[in-house]
Structure formats: structure tokens, C-alpha cells
Amino acid sequence: MAMAKHSLLVGFGGFLPDRVVTNAELATKLDTSDEWIRTRTGITCRHIAGPDDTAASMGAAAARKALDYAGLTAADIDAVLVATATPDQAFPATAVRVQAALGMTSGFGFDIAAACSGFIFALATADSFIRSGQARNVLVIGSEVYSRIVDWSDRGTCVLFGDGAGAVVLSASEQDDGIGILSTHLHSDGTLGDLLYVDGAVGQPEKSGHLKMSGRDVFRHAVAKLSSSVDEALASHGLTDADVDWLVPHQANIRIIEGVAKKLALSADRVVVTVDRHANTSAASIPLALDEAVRDGRIRKGELVLMEALGGGLTWGSALVRL
């Protein structure tokens, strides 16, 4: 296989479960209110998975839309990478379940666990496969069912999250025209792992299995680390804040999003925001936001898009893409 120069984003897709849960509904079960949630997070509602929705089924639904957008079929795909912190099973990987759902019997698939940064990590991995010539077309999916790991009696965390899946198709290009993924920048610091984690897994059945978060500390690290990641991405190409057309951030909290946008001196109409309607869908949030903004015509061909995320680990990173 010839050495490919870089990866193009050629397909976009998203899936959200039918059930919408408003802040007002949560306020009937928790000591909270619509105003409390909105003023602190920007969230008004979230989609919650139904009994038949799984990380794999939602991921496959988003993937089908991305393939359709790209004008490709599952037979064209060499690899499926699924970023998820909420896999349906310990194994096999959610990615191979998606492969099966799409009718793929060739290529390979695996999951990437980097919490809310998962999509950026998966995008970087897929880009590396394409740059090395190991793959020509890769499906990158973020799919999350956080409603099954949050403690619904903990008003500090359960109001923050929602379910959903987003997908993109990356394709190899030999054209040296400055279009596609320019670079990705990944980081993690395990000494901060106890700020945001899930209490247990298959190997620790005596644990609660619920998400735990030190909200104030995570917020503090998020603004600082995301800002430095943004600076790193731009500096690596000799670009400035003024060169960025769109910020497509991880949708965790409107105040974090606004903090990074302010640092970039980007006006609100250049920032894609879905947290108000989707809440935090973890690894699915960036591809869901990207899909929405591409399909409604906001993001156009040739524009420079900066994506960034921070999640449990702590993990964080950025990606610079010219669509």
C-alpha cells in the first residue's frame, strides 16, 4: 500500500436515543432545580438510552450515517475504532460488535478507553494508521451509555451526563493540499486519576461501579490543560488564535467551553455548543457536535476546526483539522 500523506474527514454521523429527560423531570426525583443545573452547567436536557440501546447499537447507527455521508459502504472500511468508557461487555470490544452490525467480515476493530478524551485519542490513532499506510478508510466512533454508570441519587454528577454516539469516516489522501487532519496532541497524567473515575469494574465486583468526580478540581485542571493543548496545536503549525474558524470542544460544561473560547478570543458564534441539549456524552460529544455543525452548514469545506477534550485519567488532547 502506498504511503498516504494524511487523513481527510469525509463522513459524519450521529445518533441520540429517543428519550429526552429535562432538568424539570430530574428535579422531581432529586434535590435540585432547572435553574441550578442550567446556571452551573448550561444543560437543559439530555437523551437517555432505552432498554434496547447499547454502546454497539448506537455506535453502529451513527456509523451508518457517516458511511452514507461519505458515499462509502462497510466493505470499504479497513478499521473500526470505538472510543467508549461504557462498553456493553468486558470483551469482545464494542468495535467488533459494530463491525458485525455493519456486516463487516474483514478489517479489524478495537476499543479505546480515554474517558471523555476518547474521540481525540481514537482520531489520533486512526490518523496514524492512515499515515503509516496500514489503512485507507477508518471509522472512528464515540459511543457512551453514561446513564448506566452514574449514581442517580447523586445530584452532583447524574445531572451532567447523557447518552449518544457520534462517528466520522477518515480516508487517506495523497494530495498535499493542506486539507485534513493537520495534527493531534495527546496527554495524560495518572497522578490525577482519582479526580474523575468509575468506582470498580469487572475485576472489582465489590465496588459500586458508579462515576465519582471531584468537580471543582476537574474544572480547574480542565481550563488550564485545554488552554495549553490549544496553544500547543496552533504553535505546531505557526498559527494564531485568529486562524481558527471553529472550536468544536468536548461538551462537559458551558463554563469550561466559554473559558477556552475566551482564551482563543473566539466569539460565541464560532463555537459549536450542544451541551445544552445533549449534556456530557463523553467520547460521543465531539463527533455529535461536529456532525450537527457540518450538516446544518455552519462548518464549511476549507475551514480550520480545533477540537479539544479532557477526561478521567486525567487525559486531554486536541486535534487541528482543515475540513
Tell me the catalytic residues: 116, 250, 280
Question: Residue 107's CB: how many other CB atoms inside 10 A?
Answer: 17
CA distances from 54 to 163, 253, 289, 294, 311 (A): 10, 25, 20, 25, 21
Residue type, 168: V
Grid coordinates in use for 297? 452548514
Residues in the chain: 323
Q: Which of 40, 48, 52 is nearest to 21 (CA)?
A: 48
User: Can you say whether the dihedral through the CA atoms of 107, 15, 47, 41 is positive or negative?
Assistant: positive
Residue with cell 477540537: 307
Question: Residue 216's CB: how many other CB atoms inside 10 A?
Answer: 9
Q: What share of the chain is helix, strand, coil (3-state, %, to 5)?
A: 40, 25, 35
